Amino acid sequence: MEANAVEVAKWAAQQWGYLAAGFGAGLVMLGMSFGIGKLAAAAMDATGRQPEAAAQVRTSMLLAAVLIEGATFFALVICFILANK
């Protein structure tokens, strides 16, 4: 009877891990979307104020967006690794 209780506890802990990974991935995506949205809004505002600097603003925006997405994918990988532990 005890072995069965231990197996159920392990199974429940694994299921909670999957749920936590799902919530973590959702929070990561939510943060990334807000960050890139704010970045794009600021870039559009800067381009509207100084159209001659549009190329420099676009380059800076793309670099920042790549860094945000890189950190997002890293966080997602960490979520999935922790879920499968």
Per-residue pLDDT tens digits for 15-49: 888 888 889 999 999 999 999 999 999 999 999 99
Distance from C-alpha of 81 to C-alpha of 77, rounded to nearest angstrom: 6
CATH assignment at residue 27: 1.20.20.10
Mean pLDDT of the chain: 90
Task: Select the more confidently predicted residue: 82 or 53.
Answer: 53
Mean pLDDT of 5-11: 85
Structure-block tokens of residue 60: 């800076």
- How far is CA 75 from its chain centroid? 6
Residue 1 pLDDT > 60, yes or no?
no
The residue range of the domain holding 61 is 2-83
Q: How many distinct structural domains can be found in the chain?
A: 1
pTM of the model: 0.76
Angle among Cα 49, 39, 42 to the nearest 5 degrees reads 20
Quick one: what percent of the chain has pLDDT higher than 90? 64
- Looking at residue 2, what is its pLDDT? 62
Per-state percent for the chain, helix, strand, coil, to nearest 5:
95, 0, 5
